[in-house]
Chains A and B, each alone.
Chain A
Amino acid sequence: AQSVTQPDARVTVSEGASLQLRCKYSYSGTPYLFWYVQYPRQGLQLLLKYYSGDPVVQGVNGFEAEFIKSNSSFHLRKASVHWSDSAVYFCAVNYGSSGNKLIFGIGTLLSVKP
């Protein structure tokens, strides 16, 4: 079955530190991949997306993600986090054949210590 795994339910980092949030998907083909962020009491906002081309894709607010097909991974990275980055981050895939619906991981709660 199609699925998205975010193995880290919670990540805590200090402000200014680097960040990696992990995401793995299960699918033999090439999926459409997304990272969304959810701030408290708000809807989801798109950080970045990937389908093809350069496997490192740049997003908003200094975020980037790398697609590694051999590992079925799409990890999110940021070189230096800010306290305002504290939020829940969701990895999602759209397999196309699923009819356009997004399948989300469980999410990773990022806490940035000042």
Chain B
Amino acid sequence: NAGVIQTPRHKVTGKGQEATLWCEPISGHSAVFWYRQTIVQGLEFLTYFRNQAPIDDSGMPKERFSAQMPNQSHSTLKIQSTQPQDSAVYLCASRYDWGYYAEQFFGPGTRLTVL
């Protein structure tokens, strides 16, 4: 079990460029979550998929951010026209089932730096 895989581990973009972050959940896990981590705001929920379907995107900024899960083996978070305030560590997590008590397993994160 390789755990949740996130690629790339580090990404540097220029202001206005696009960034795509990848997440491969643990095989057999039905739920995938995206979080953003910054020094100022801490850990913030972005969005959540269950069986590849988007369930809750209440934490996603309304503009420039989008997430997809085209198949059960990966999810992507895309940020268009990146801005310096998008600089953060983006964490992906997966969970085996739908229960509120179930553990979320986190990947190592992708550190995005927008210059």
Give min CB distance, A93 to chain B, whole Å: 10
Tell me the dominant secondary structure on chain B's binding face: strand
State whether the Cβ of A16 lies closer than 8 Å to any Cβ in chain B: no
Is A100's CB under 8 angstroms from B56's CB?
yes
Segment touching A, from B13-21, B64-72, B73-81, B100-108: B100-108
Q: B-contacting residues of A (Cβ < 8 Å)?
A: 32, 34, 36, 41-46, 49, 51, 90, 92, 94, 96, 99-107
Q: List 21 A-B contacts (CB under 8 A).
A: A32-B100, A34-B103, A36-B106, A41-B108, A43-B91, A43-B109, A44-B106, A46-B103, A46-B104, A99-B48, A99-B55, A99-B58, A100-B31, A100-B48, A100-B56, A100-B95, A100-B100, A101-B48, A101-B56, A101-B59, A104-B44
CA distance A100 to B35 in the complex (A): 13
Q: A-contacting residues of B (Cβ < 8 Å)?
A: 3-4, 31, 33, 35, 42-45, 48, 55-56, 58-59, 91, 93, 95, 98, 100-101, 103-109
Additional 6 contacts, C-beta under 8 A, given A100-B98, A102-B104, A107-B42: A51-B101, A99-B56, A100-B48, A100-B56, A101-B45, A101-B59
B43, B93, B101: the one within 8 Å of A90 (CB):
B43
CA distance A10 to B31 in the complex (A): 33
